[in-house]
Amino acid sequence: MSDNQHLEVFDTIARRASSTDHNVQGWERAGSVATGIVMVGKGLRRGGLFGLVQIAIGGVALARGLTGHSATKALIAQSRQELDGVRAKIERAGEELSKLQDTAVQATKTATVTGNDELASPKA
Protein backbone atom coordinates (compact mmCIF):
# COMPACT_ATOMS: atom_id res chain seq x y z
CA MET A 1 0.00 0.00 0.00
CA SER A 2 1.26 3.47 -0.82
CA ASP A 3 1.21 6.34 1.64
CA ASN A 4 -1.79 7.86 -0.14
CA GLN A 5 -3.78 4.65 0.29
CA HIS A 6 -2.90 4.56 4.02
CA LEU A 7 -4.11 8.15 4.38
CA GLU A 8 -7.33 7.31 2.53
CA VAL A 9 -8.00 4.40 4.91
CA PHE A 10 -7.49 6.57 7.98
CA ASP A 11 -9.57 9.36 6.41
CA THR A 12 -12.39 6.88 5.81
CA ILE A 13 -12.18 5.66 9.40
CA ALA A 14 -12.25 9.25 10.66
CA ARG A 15 -15.31 10.10 8.53
CA ARG A 16 -17.15 7.04 9.79
CA ALA A 17 -16.29 7.98 13.36
CA SER A 18 -17.63 11.50 12.93
CA SER A 19 -20.82 10.38 11.17
CA THR A 20 -21.80 7.75 13.75
CA ASP A 21 -22.39 7.94 17.46
CA HIS A 22 -19.59 6.90 19.77
CA ASN A 23 -20.66 3.98 21.88
CA VAL A 24 -17.16 2.88 22.93
CA GLN A 25 -15.34 5.23 25.30
CA GLY A 26 -12.48 5.41 27.75
CA TRP A 27 -10.72 2.26 28.82
CA GLU A 28 -12.89 0.11 26.58
CA ARG A 29 -11.72 2.06 23.55
CA ALA A 30 -8.07 1.99 24.63
CA GLY A 31 -8.35 -1.73 25.31
CA SER A 32 -9.77 -2.31 21.84
CA VAL A 33 -6.87 -0.45 20.22
CA ALA A 34 -4.29 -2.34 22.30
CA THR A 35 -5.95 -5.70 21.67
CA GLY A 36 -6.21 -4.94 17.96
CA ILE A 37 -2.52 -4.08 17.69
CA VAL A 38 -1.50 -7.23 19.60
CA MET A 39 -3.79 -9.48 17.54
CA VAL A 40 -2.61 -8.05 14.21
CA GLY A 41 1.02 -8.46 15.30
CA LYS A 42 0.50 -12.05 16.43
CA GLY A 43 -1.37 -12.85 13.23
CA LEU A 44 1.42 -11.45 11.08
CA ARG A 45 4.02 -13.48 12.99
CA ARG A 46 1.98 -16.66 12.91
CA GLY A 47 1.02 -16.63 9.23
CA GLY A 48 -1.23 -19.14 7.52
CA LEU A 49 -4.98 -19.42 7.89
CA PHE A 50 -5.03 -18.96 11.68
CA GLY A 51 -2.76 -15.95 11.33
CA LEU A 52 -5.15 -14.46 8.80
CA VAL A 53 -8.05 -15.01 11.21
CA GLN A 54 -6.08 -13.28 13.97
CA ILE A 55 -5.31 -10.36 11.67
CA ALA A 56 -8.99 -10.03 10.77
CA ILE A 57 -10.13 -10.10 14.40
CA GLY A 58 -7.37 -7.69 15.37
CA GLY A 59 -8.38 -5.36 12.56
CA VAL A 60 -11.98 -5.31 13.74
CA ALA A 61 -10.87 -4.57 17.31
CA LEU A 62 -8.49 -1.87 16.08
CA ALA A 63 -11.18 -0.23 13.94
CA ARG A 64 -13.57 -0.38 16.91
CA GLY A 65 -11.04 1.41 19.10
CA LEU A 66 -10.06 4.00 16.49
CA THR A 67 -13.62 4.93 15.50
CA GLY A 68 -15.16 4.65 18.95
CA HIS A 69 -18.11 2.83 17.43
CA SER A 70 -19.07 -0.82 17.69
CA ALA A 71 -21.83 -2.05 15.40
CA THR A 72 -22.33 -5.11 17.61
CA LYS A 73 -22.73 -2.98 20.72
CA ALA A 74 -25.17 -0.71 18.87
CA LEU A 75 -27.20 -3.73 17.74
CA ILE A 76 -27.36 -5.07 21.30
CA ALA A 77 -28.45 -1.66 22.61
CA GLN A 78 -31.15 -1.43 19.93
CA SER A 79 -32.41 -4.92 20.78
CA ARG A 80 -32.48 -4.01 24.46
CA GLN A 81 -34.55 -0.89 23.70
CA GLU A 82 -37.00 -2.93 21.63
CA LEU A 83 -37.26 -5.47 24.45
CA ASP A 84 -37.95 -2.69 26.97
CA GLY A 85 -40.68 -1.35 24.66
CA VAL A 86 -42.31 -4.78 24.39
CA ARG A 87 -42.08 -5.22 28.17
CA ALA A 88 -43.83 -1.86 28.70
CA LYS A 89 -46.61 -2.84 26.26
CA ILE A 90 -47.12 -6.14 28.09
CA GLU A 91 -47.33 -4.34 31.44
CA ARG A 92 -49.89 -1.87 30.04
CA ALA A 93 -51.92 -4.75 28.60
CA GLY A 94 -51.83 -6.49 31.99
CA GLU A 95 -53.09 -3.34 33.72
CA GLU A 96 -55.89 -2.99 31.17
CA LEU A 97 -56.81 -6.64 31.64
CA SER A 98 -56.98 -6.17 35.42
CA LYS A 99 -59.25 -3.16 34.96
CA LEU A 100 -61.49 -5.14 32.60
CA GLN A 101 -61.64 -7.99 35.10
CA ASP A 102 -62.58 -5.59 37.92
CA THR A 103 -65.27 -4.06 35.71
CA ALA A 104 -66.62 -7.51 34.83
CA VAL A 105 -66.73 -8.54 38.49
CA GLN A 106 -68.59 -5.35 39.40
CA ALA A 107 -71.01 -5.87 36.51
CA THR A 108 -71.82 -9.44 37.58
CA LYS A 109 -72.51 -8.30 41.16
CA THR A 110 -75.18 -5.86 40.00
CA ALA A 111 -76.66 -8.04 37.24
CA THR A 112 -80.07 -9.62 37.77
CA VAL A 113 -81.25 -12.75 36.04
CA THR A 114 -84.86 -13.15 35.11
CA GLY A 115 -86.53 -16.36 34.11
CA ASN A 116 -85.03 -19.83 34.48
CA ASP A 117 -81.52 -19.66 35.93
CA GLU A 118 -79.75 -22.62 34.32
CA LEU A 119 -76.63 -22.15 36.50
CA ALA A 120 -78.52 -22.38 39.77
CA SER A 121 -80.48 -25.48 38.80
CA PRO A 122 -78.69 -27.34 35.96
CA LYS A 123 -80.55 -30.02 34.08
CA ALA A 124 -79.59 -33.58 34.88
Q: Which pLDDT score is estimated for 31?
A: 92
Q: 3-state SS of the chain: helix, strand, coil percent to 5?
A: 80, 0, 20
**Claim to verify: residue 45 and residue 76 sit in the same structural domain:** no
Q: Which pLDDT score is estimated for 120?
A: 58
- The ranges of the chain with pLDDT < 70 are 1-20, 112-124
- Asked whether residue 111 is assigned to any structural domain, the reply reads no
**Claim to verify: residue 22 and residue 78 sit in the same structural domain:** no
- Asked whether residue 75 is assigned to any structural domain, the reply reads yes
**Claim to verify: residue 25 and residue 63 sit in the same structural domain:** yes
**Claim to verify: residue 14 and residue 37 sit in the same structural domain:** yes
**Claim to verify: residue 47 and residue 63 sit in the same structural domain:** yes
**Claim to verify: residue 7 and residue 51 sit in the same structural domain:** yes
- Identify the domain containing residue 57 by its residue range: 1-69
pLDDT in tens, 10-27: 566 555 545 557 888 889
Q: Which pLDDT score is estimated for 20?
A: 55
Q: Which pLDDT score is estimated for 74?
A: 86
- This prediction has a pTM of 0.52
Q: Which pLDDT score is estimated for 108?
A: 83
CA distances from 93 to 79, 104, 106 (A): 21, 16, 20
